[in-house]
Amino acid sequence: MAAEGATADVLQVSGVVKAFGGLRALQGVSLRLAPGEVLGLVGANGAGKSTLVKILAGLLRPDAGNITVAGETMAALTPSESRAAGISVIHQELALIDSQSVAENIFLGHPRPRRWGAIDWRRLTAEAERACTETGIALDVRRPVGELSTWQRWATVLVRELRVRSRVLILDEPTAAMDEAHVERVFAAVRGARAAGASCIFVSHRLGEVMELCDRAQVLRDGVAVGELDAGEMSKPRLMELIVGDHAAVPSRVAPSSAPAAPVRGASRGGPGADEAMLTVSDLRQRPTSVPTSFAVRPGEIVGLAGLVGSGRSRMLRILAGAQRPAAGRIAFAGRELRPGSVGRARRAGVVFIGEDRLAEGLVDTLSVATNISLGRPGGGWPRGTLVSADREAAIAAGWIETLRIRGASPNGSVMELSGGNQQKLLFARALECRPQLLLLDEPTRGVDVGSREQLYSIVSDFARAGGAVITAMSDLDELAGLVSSALVLREGSVVDSLPAGSVSRSAILEACYGHR
């Protein structure tokens, strides 16, 4: 019977393992896809969905395991082999050339019809039009893709993939950036593709959509396929149970009241004016279409920003930091209005941001440790702020190297010799040198070893204990639950839930992320 199933399935993935450094993203994942089936692939951030999709697309090589398409095992696992086997992936970042027409984009990467050696534009347009009609999608193939809506752009890629008769169509979060009306069109298009003989894997965070569209759902958690549900068995609670796993709500609830968080709240309650908000955000809209959102942060608080990939956590931090402009809304800080859109203004007011990419957004590799720490340091006006005293800069750096225990750093040394954790501490030193009141941290522990992580936590809690406020985005929910005193859950750029002190746990956050509350 097993052999029979093997020949019937259009795609079989068995025992796929993939590790990045020490982190095992996939720990022997197996799944199957029957002809004409729509399979939902769900799981929290970091569960391994993206890694699996990339392996199927041939973009990553697995460390172990097999992939069989229509009975043939793929040998090389390269992008071209994946395509040749009939696997099409529509990524979230659509591969489109904005300046070219829909018709040209439909032929992107495929041989264009030619006549006497030159491109036959008339036939190309006609064939593109026919491909659209066959798929039942109405598109003006002559228009440049740059002028199209999100849905039309996605449909262009879909037509391109269906034109070459793909066997397995993998849709990575197709509805993430679309509104209700267009979601229905995506569903219709997927059902059309299925009717035309393709099998689909639908990757999504939206459980309602998975239940509506899919014949079966496969749940991944921490790189393991933890269960599958048929259409009849699917329900939000059962899916949530598999996504969250046995991190039961009860033990995690203990986390916020443990060592790092408790003294902070105690101190803030005792401090003067602690009940007054330090930061008040009112009716903020990240994009013109976002739901307006409001929240407040008090001194001594460490607020976690949680949300699935694409929920707008980084964007929210960058807006508060002045690095990006919101579509609308007001920000008040320390009793005064803070006009968004200028990093300098936010820093002078006392709001300092540390970005998630240390190399691209933080360090200047040709400058020394001391200069990197002093970069952007508020000067004392002219002439004191104008002239650099190398001695003073070195003394400042030496002080921070001592206080934050930045190992391996000397004031005149290179920042590139430091480990990830110590580079991050250096950026904390730069931020703290501005004497901020509010620290905005985007994934502060990404790529940081365990020892340095603990030190970063204590820097953050010390800062909050001293009366500062912190807003931090972290993808690792257990880590987030252990550090923060309360959490805001974002979806599509807006705060959809706020978890007060004492109720922040991995399961509570995930339930809020998936809208199951």
Partner 1 sequence: MAIDEATRAPEATAAGPGRSQWVSDHLMELSGLVALIACLALFEILRPSIFLTSGNISVILSNASVAAVLAAGLSVSLSAGQFDLSIGETLALSGVVVAKLIDIGAPWWIAILGAVVAASLVGVINGILTVRGGVPSIVATLGMQSVLLGVLVWATNDAYIQILPQGLPKFGRSSVAGIPDIAIVMLALCVAGALAMRYTTAGRNLQAVGRNPEAARLAGINVGGYVLGSLVCTAAFAGIAGVLLAANLSGGHPEVGPGYVLPAFAAAFLGAAAHRTGTFTFIGGLYGAILITAVTNGLVVANAADWTANVVTGLVLIGAVVLSRVARRRSLAHRR
Task: Write out the residues near partner 1 by the rule CB under 8 A.
Answer: 321, 323, 343-344, 346-348, 353, 355, 360-367, 371, 374-376, 379, 385-390, 394, 410, 412, 414, 416-417, 430, 434
CB 461 within 8 A of CB 260: yes
CB of 315 to partner 1, least distance (A): 14
Nearer residue to partner 1 within complex by CB, 44 or 406? 406
What secondary structure does DSSP assign to 173-211, as a single string?
STTTT--HHHHHHHHHHHHHHHHTT-EEEEE-S-HHHHH
Q: Give all strands (DSSP E) within 423-493, no chain letters.
A: 438-442, 469-473, 486-491
Nearer Cβ to partner 1, position 254 or 359? 359
CB 58 within 8 A of CB 91: no
Cβ neighbours of residue 477 closer than 8 Å, sequence gap 6 or more: 44, 306, 506, 509, 510
Nearest approach in angstroms of CB 382 to partner 1 is: 10
Encoded amino acid at 80, one letter: S
Tell me which DSSP letter residue 258 carries. S
Angle at 54 between CA 90 and CA 473, to 5 degrees: 90
Smallest gap from Cβ 285 to partner 1, in A, equals 23
Beta carbon of residue 9, minimum distance to partner 1 (angstroms, whole number): 47
Q: Which CB sits closer to partner 1, 192 or 376?
A: 376
User: Which one, 313 or 347, has the nearer CB to partner 1?
Assistant: 347
Query: Least separation, in Å, of the C-beta of 364 and partner 1?
Result: 5
User: How many angstroms separate the CA atoms of 348 and 352, rounded?
Assistant: 9
| HSE-up of residue 273 (Cα within 13 Å, Cβ side) | 9
Q: How far is the CB of 347 from partner 1 (least distance, A)?
A: 4
Q: What is each CA distance from 452 to 405, 418, 484, in whole angstroms?
A: 9, 12, 18
Cα 220 to the center of its chain, rounded Å: 17
Q: Could you tell me the smallest distance in angstroms from the CB atom of residue 300 to partner 1? A: 25
Map residue 306 onto helix, strand or coil: strand
Cβ proximity to partner 1, 299 vs 355, nearer residue: 355
Of 230 and 417, the one with the shorter C-beta distance to partner 1 is 417
What sign does the dihedral 171-177-183-186 (CA atoms) show? negative
Query: Considering the complex, what minimum distance in angstroms separates the CB of residue 417 from partner 1?
Result: 6
Choice between 113 and 376, CB closer to partner 1: 376
Taking the least distance from each CB to partner 1, the nearer of 136 and 376 is 376
CA-based R_g, the chain, Å: 26
Nearer to partner 1, 118 or 360 (CB): 360
Nearer to partner 1 by C-beta: 443 or 497?
443
Least Å distance, CB 206 to partner 1, is 32
Taking the complex as a whole, how short is the minimal distance between the CB of residue 363 and partner 1, in angstroms?
Answer: 6
Q: How far apart are CA 258 and CA 256, in angstroms?
A: 5
Residue 286 or 372 having the CB closest to partner 1: 372
Cα(297)–Cα(278) distance, integer angstroms: 6
* Min separation Cβ 375 and partner 1, Å: 5
The Cα–Cα gap between 79 and 105 comes to 19
Q: In angstroms, what is the minimal distance from the CB of 326 to partner 1?
A: 17
Q: How far apart are CA 428 and CA 400, in angstroms?
A: 9
- Are the C-beta atoms of 120 and 114 separated by less than 8 Å? yes
- CA 457 to the chain's CA centroid: 22
> 3-class SS at 310?
coil
At residue 350, φ and ψ (nearest 5 deg) are: 115, 15
Q: How far is the CB of 345 from partner 1 (least distance, A)?
A: 9
**Is the Cβ of residue 294 or residue 366 nearer to partner 1 in the bound state?**
366
Q: Burial level of 450, CB count in 10 A (0-12/13-18/19+)?
A: exposed
In whole angstroms, what separates CA 207 from the centre of its chain?
A: 18
* Close Cβ partners of 175 (under 8 Å, ≥ 6 residues apart): 182, 183, 186, 204, 206, 209
Looking at beta carbons only, is 409 or 513 nearer to partner 1? 409
